Amino acid sequence: MDHIEQTFQVNYSFPVHFTEHLFRAGNELFGDFLLARRGDTVKKLLFLVDSEVALHHPLLDGQIREYVSGIEGYALAGILQLPGGEGCKNDRRYFYEIVDAVNELGIDRHSYVVAIGGGALLDLAGYASAVSHRGIRHIRIPTTVLSQNDSGVGVKNGINYAGKKNFLGTFAPPAAVFNDAFFLTTLSDRDWRSGIAEAVKVALIKDAAFFGWLEANAPLLAQRDPDAMEYLVQRCAALHLAHIAGGDPFEMGSSRPLDFGHWSAHKLEQLTGFELKHGEAVAMGIALDSCYSFVSGRLPEEALQRILGLLLQVGFEITHPGLVVDNAESPLLLGLQEFREHLGGTLTIMLLRAIGSGEEVHHLDVALLQEASHYLFHYQPIHSPQ
Amino acid sequence: MDHIEQTFQVNYSFPVHFTEHLFRAGNELFGDFLLARRGDTVKKLLFLVDSEVALHHPLLDGQIREYVSGIEGYALAGILQLPGGEGCKNDRRYFYEIVDAVNELGIDRHSYVVAIGGGALLDLAGYASAVSHRGIRHIRIPTTVLSQNDSGVGVKNGINYAGKKNFLGTFAPPAAVFNDAFFLTTLSDRDWRSGIAEAVKVALIKDAAFFGWLEANAPLLAQRDPDAMEYLVQRCAALHLAHIAGGDPFEMGSSRPLDFGHWSAHKLEQLTGFELKHGEAVAMGIALDSCYSFVSGRLPEEALQRILGLLLQVGFEITHPGLVVDNAESPLLLGLQEFREHLGGTLTIMLLRAIGSGEEVHHLDVALLQEASHYLFHYQPIHSPQ
């Protein structure tokens, strides 16, 4: 024998639920999920709650305590509040706060860490859960549009390190995701809007019909119509989930089409000290790469106009001083290098051939980026937003 | 739609090679592995070398530089020395040393971190690689018996935290394992012997014929016969790999038969401030759980005598003051709780019905543990070692 080839498969499965008032008496979704997974011994639940959510939902803490006390075979180990937003991913101490709680409260691999919050808190909680005891079961309850339709339903987690987004993290599917539409009602306008960027993104690379729906419903979305948002979240989440299951869930290759518009967005977030929200930066990143697709001769100008028009109509800004490329030394361009390094292998950037149809390239031209970024910076909508 | 069920599979595959003088000119194994995985761009190699190995193999550094310079499509990013032994898993700064090197040297997800060392260094390197950029490809070159036949060929990594073994870690299959028998020649007698404990363990729960082979070859193993060791390493690694592939590779259930003898071993390592090596503690743990299997009426005394006889003949000690259970407050018993907590769910301990055949139980009786531990403490071999 000179070698043994070790080969095995691991199967993953988790439900993504859509509901409202998850912890209200009478909503049995969460309890039923847990009851179906009871064991011989009592399992513990450790809740991690985004302090922003706790602030807007002062009854939540009591509701959780009441709700969990009614689930046989489970015990509430604690409810820990943590700051939401990118800050919780930038400071390592929050990671250790969760790990310490897991240790001190005796949360084991068959217990559940239940995280309630925006994408940043879910990323942090998912990472701390994934590495404690080599992986504690983790339930996600995303509370923002962005996390309900995109990051919260996926398989990634992470924290920032050395100024780089998600430098430390893992691929670790959650045990379940519960999207509760009621949390969306208390979002700020910025947070409501921010998540729409990921819906525009996935429509642009996967689904022209959904893009048409977004255009038709842009006024309703801008006015915070809950039914329009419900459809958007479910359709976007479904496209996101289908892509993961059908592709390369743990990103072993170099292609990452769901990161359309993200190479510049990640860098812009960092360049602005995270003053821009992720979705706001993604909207600008989509605008830039769509414009690049146009100036490089891939995308017709009429399609570009529709994309920029939709972003503006939803209320996004499409440019920023940090997004402007003046020469090969422009700080934004470091984002290309960092993006390549994070994925590894050959630089692979998604561009557009048409609305609903992407094309991967392995090089962006600085002169064309300059042209695209200046086009955006001086952009005057042909049709003013309705 | 009220829910989406997300289901997917991830396939893992990696070779485990057995060779000698891996980096000597003319041995093309390592180079061929990499050449088969060349990309369009140059991939980097970051070596992490156990300082104990570097000390005993002063030519290794130069050999690696020379060898790697001949592999087209790859560049040496650096060779970082780190202390081996449990110390590197106890102090977080070594984890951050690796993460910082990954960041500063621009090691991406398609680059390789190549770790050369004992089980502890491999656990640390595997963990740091698994969480940097959500998973950098990782090649293991185990240099001890223990890591070549057991931990180094498996899928786990980790570091210690809050005094608990492997509290932080992941399941992350390596890209490849290269077992180089030459490294075993420079081990201390303790390290040579230590790894044999895992071979005794896997034989006891899986393969009576291999146990017979170990008995027949115990004198050769004690005399450091390289051919006997070569067979032991390959057979033990093969049984370990087959178990992982055929079972529950990422330990989603509560059963962990490969941890026979380990609940007390982990605790004993910690109670002795890691003065006992892992394999030495495992030998004692095997003795204790075999003895418990006897006093609880599962295992015939003749089989117990053969097990203790083999351990003693190889040169292991089979008891220790810390292994003695006097009452329900004995410190060792905390190991049961910690073991359960790490796995989660119901306590599941492997015992023996016969040599080569295990039985899982969910409870250990303190009075019987007391009896078993005292039996061992006062044990007089019936046949003195040959």
DSSP letters of B299-318? Answer: S-HHHHHHHHHHHHHHT---
In Å, how far from its chain's centre is CA A139? 15
Domains and CATH numbers, chain B: 16-186 (3.40.50.1970), 189-377 (1.20.1090.10)
Q: Give me the mean pLDDT over the A259-277 stretch.
A: 94
- pLDDT (tens digit, 9 = 90+) per residue, B295-317? 999 999 999 999 999 999 999 99
Lowest-confidence segment of A60-64, A267-271, A380-384 by average pLDDT: A380-384
Flag whether pLDDT at A382 surpasses 70. Answer: no
- pLDDT (tens digit, 9 = 90+) per residue, B145-172? 999 999 999 999 999 999 888 999 999 9
In Å, how far from its chain's centre is CA A84? 14
Q: Give me the mean pLDDT over the A315-332 stretch.
A: 96
What lies within 8 Å, CB to CB, of B263 at 6+ separation is: B285, B289, B335, B336, B339, B349
Helix extents (H) in chain B:
29-35, 51-56, 60-69, 87-90, 92-104, 119-131, 145-149, 189-194, 196-206, 208-222, 226-246, 262-271, 278-295, 301-314, 334-343, 366-377
Amino acid found at B321: P
Contact A344 B133 (CB under 8 A): yes
- pLDDT (tens digit, 9 = 90+) per residue, A113-172? 999 999 999 999 999 999 999 999 999 999 999 999 999 999 999 999 998 889 999 999
- Spatial separation of the C-alpha atoms in residues A143 and A127, rounded to whole Å: 18
Amino acid found at A117: G
Residue A185 DSSP code: G
- Spatial separation of the C-alpha atoms in residues A13 and A34, rounded to whole Å: 15
Contact B110 A169 (CB under 8 A): no
Place of tokens 């004690």: B222
Q: What pLDDT is attached to residue B382? A: 66
The dihedrals phi and psi of B276, each to the nearest 5 degrees, come to -75, 140
Pairing of strands B176-180, B357-361: unpaired
* Of A17, A108, A344, Cβ closest to residue B110: A344
In this structure, what token pair is assigned to residue B309? 């006889």
- Spatial separation of the C-alpha atoms in residues A347 and A52, rounded to whole Å: 37
Q: What pLDDT is attached to residue A1? A: 58
Flag whether pLDDT at A326 surpasses 80. Answer: yes
CA A282-A173-A115 angle, to 5 degrees, is: 75
Q: What pLDDT is attached to residue A385? A: 47
Cβ contact B48:B115 at 8 Å? yes
Q: How many CB pairs under 8 A join A and B?
A: 197
Polymer length in residues for chain B? 386
- Spatial separation of the C-alpha atoms in residues A171 and A158, rounded to whole Å: 9
Average pLDDT over chain A, rounded to whole?
A: 95
Q: Which residues of chain B have pLDDT under 50?
A: 385-386
Cβ contact A239:A331 at 8 Å? no
Flag whether pLDDT at A41 surpasses 90. Answer: no
Instruction: Give the three-state DSSP class for A260.
Output: coil
Closest Cα in chain A, distance from residue B322 (Å): 24
Contact B7 A344 (CB under 8 A): no
B341 chain-A contacts, CB cut-off 8 A:
106, 108, 133
Residue B198 — left, alpha, or beta (φ > 0 → left; ψ -120 to 50 → alpha)?
Answer: alpha
**If we measure between CA atoms, which residue out of B336, B114, B134, B251 comes closest to residue A8?**
B251
Q: Give me the mean pLDDT over the A236-254 stretch.
A: 91
In this structure, what token pair is assigned to residue A40? 């011989």
Q: Give me the mean pLDDT over the A228-251 stretch.
A: 94
Q: What pLDDT is attached to residue B383? A: 56
B77 chain-A contacts, CB cut-off 8 A:
none
Closest Cα in chain A, distance from residue B253 (Å): 8
Contact A251 B130 (CB under 8 A): no
Q: Is the ipTM of this complex over 0.90?
A: yes
Contact B161 A99 (CB under 8 A): yes
In this structure, what token pair is assigned to residue A5? 């080839």
Cβ contact A298:A374 at 8 Å? no
A39 chain-B contacts, CB cut-off 8 A:
345-346
Q: How many of the other CB atoms lie within 10 Å of CB of B54?
A: 17
Contact B103 A133 (CB under 8 A): no
**If we measure between CA atoms, which residue out of A371, A178, A186, A185 comes closest to residue A288?**
A371
Q: What pLDDT is attached to residue A345? A: 79
Q: How many of the other CB atoms lie within 10 Å of CB of B153?
A: 24
B165 chain-A contacts, CB cut-off 8 A:
none
The alpha carbon dihedral of B46, B50, B53, B58 has a sign of positive
Helix extents (H) in chain A:
29-35, 51-56, 60-69, 87-90, 92-104, 119-131, 145-149, 189-194, 196-206, 208-222, 226-246, 262-271, 278-295, 301-314, 334-343, 366-377
In this structure, what token pair is assigned to residue B383? 């046949």
